Amino acid sequence: MDCKESQILFALHIMDDLEDSPGLYSQLEAHLLSCQACRERYEIRKQTITFIEQHKAIFAEALRNPEEKKAVEKEEIQLSWKRIEARLDQIEVQERKEKQTKFHRLIVKVSAVAACFVVGISTLLTYSIYSKPKIALTPSVRIELVSDNGNILIPPDRQIVSCDELKTLIINGKYHLVMNINTILAVESLRENSNTGCLVKLLSGRIYTHVEHEDNPFIVDTVHGKAVVTGTTFDVKVTDNSTTLVVTEGTVQFESEKGVVKVSAGQTSRIAGQSAPSIPISCNTEELTAWATGYKAKHTLTQAESNNYPGEFTLPLRKEPIILEEIDYTTWIEQKRGWFKQNFPWIFQLKDALDKEGIKVDYQTLLIETGDVWQFVYLDVSPAKFSLIDVNSLINTASDYGFGEQDLFEAIPSAKSAKGDMNVKSGLFGLDALSKWITCFEDVQKSSEELDWDTLLYSLHASTYLINTKTLAWLSIRNKTSTYEPRDCRALLLLLQQEVQAAYNCVETLKLAATSQYRSCSPQYCEALEHILKNTKVIFGSEKAIHELRLNRFE
């Protein structure tokens, strides 16, 4: 198909009258992809037709049949001439009666001709104004659907649907977007200040998008909020109840009517209902975007998208158990230094104070000697805390190194105020704290309500806390930095191994729950709660047995 043939079909294509002729439709699409000049003419023609269609009432006069319009105008002109001629006859009669001069008759005729000329010019101007309306050109967006037979041009503002296969779109020749199955979206041109970008209206499903860094705006809009991007790679999933964002590269501004957060690479955030976006948390972006990138992992959410309800999944259980025996003690201690400093700052303050006195002691040793490594506290505070300063044990440990109480309070000011801390009086400790945690999940299970975001986050942090503290306790017993009877050592090592494994299982399920939307009535939702409850009860049983063994040690 050449340029002349394609231009004949422009109007038919724009008005969707080529759908019954797939051959011509395909040829025209192929020609538009290969010919820049025709593509530009097509866009101008499309904008013109669209504008006129949207303003039919205004252009009704201009859109009348030209022959009909010409006939009406001719009739009006003839009528005007007849009126002028009648007026001339009257003037001539009057002239003869009054015997006026020839000069006066000439003036009258000239005036009549001038009047006719004015009528004709007015008619011509009126026709010109209404037949050639000024059309303000607006920037358009170019959408290409990638296929095995070449890219297919998709008209903008039209809904794009992926049913049982992934679809890849190229927007404006530079934005790459992958649609998951069962996804519906529309792409529109977006203009902010002097920059032109695009707006993706994600109605349902999931997309994975790569946007090069530039000044042009790129926004993904859902019913719950929107993601504002300038250059990054990210994943957005929308369900009836929430919108979830996963950022692989760069930073995305995630916002709703209730708030705004910045989500960086390696993080995820969710807007549930009409709430503010959740605090971004770390996640495994490779697994969460595997459906689009093809990343192969043991457990990915690709399985979730293959069933009838996007966002649900069969719970993945670890194929390989956690083996604490394989941990390299020195490497692990160094890797976890920052985490322990954040959760037990007073231990590091004591360590620094002892260092100044020339007393060298490791932070892990102080955690074991104070007994803080065995702490688990339930406090009604935000952000969640699982440990508190035990002033008496801190004083006893410091005194073993020749450090007096006054010296301790000077080195750790928070230790002195900890005596009257109301959190200590209102908090739950040890088995009571674990029992409270289990009760939260049991209440959700009984009510058939969805697992709330706060409980998910608390449980993630609690499980991580138990993994790190119990691993340190296990390593200290194995390295004989804690003194127990050989028989008790074996029992403690087994119990700690069991507790760490259960906490790891909780983390895996909770992370998937944090980046997915359960349906409270689905089997997957019930299975998730059962899985979490089962492992929290294993943790409780292990802690109870450990508590009894430690009590026997001091009897």
User: What pLDDT digit, counting tens, does each position of 243-285 carry?
Assistant: 999 998 889 999 999 899 999 988 999 898 888 898 888 888 8
**Contact partners, residue 394, CB within 8 Å, separation at least 6:** 346, 350, 370, 408, 412, 415
More confident residue, 65 or 165: 165
Examine the pLDDT at 340 and tell me if it is beyond 80: yes
The pLDDT assigned to 107 comes to: 47
Q: What is the DSSP letter of 199?
A: E
Q: How far apart are CA 399 and CA 354, in angstroms?
A: 11
Element of type H or E holding 463: helix 453-478
More confident residue, 274 or 90: 274
The pLDDT assigned to 291 comes to: 84
At 122, which amino acid appears? Answer: S
Examine the pLDDT at 17 and tell me if it is beyond 50: yes
- Three-class SS of 73-123: HHHHHHHHHHHHHHHHHHHHHHHHHHCCCHHHHHHHHHHHHHHHHHHHHHH
Among the ranges given (132-146, 203-217, 422-436, 535-549), the one the predictor scored with the smallest mean pLDDT: 132-146
Examine the pLDDT at 375 and tell me if it is beyond 70: yes
Percentage of the chain exceeding pLDDT 90: 25
Q: Could you tell me the pLDDT band of residue 239, with boundaries at 50, 70 and 90?
A: confident
Examine the pLDDT at 525 and tell me if it is beyond 60: yes
Examine the pLDDT at 309 and tell me if it is beyond 60: no
Model's pTM, two decimal places? 0.47
More confident residue, 162 or 91: 162
CB 364 within 8 A of CB 399: no
Among the ranges given (18-32, 379-393, 457-471, 473-487), the one the predictor scored with the smallest mean pLDDT: 18-32
b/e map 167-177, b = 16+ CB within 10 Å? bbbebbeebeb
Strongest mean pLDDT among 8-22, 193-207, 361-375, 453-467: 361-375
The pLDDT assigned to 172 comes to: 87
Q: How far apart are CA 239 and CA 162, in angstroms?
A: 15
DSSP 305-332: HTSSSTT--PPPPPSS---GGG--HHHH
Among the ranges given (182-196, 202-216, 289-303, 431-445), the one the predictor scored with the smallest mean pLDDT: 289-303
More confident residue, 524 or 205: 205
Examine the pLDDT at 463 and tell me if it is beyond 90: yes
Q: Could you tell me the pLDDT band of residue 441, with boundaries at 50, 70 and 90?
A: confident
Q: How far apart are CA 222 and CA 185, in angstroms?
A: 10
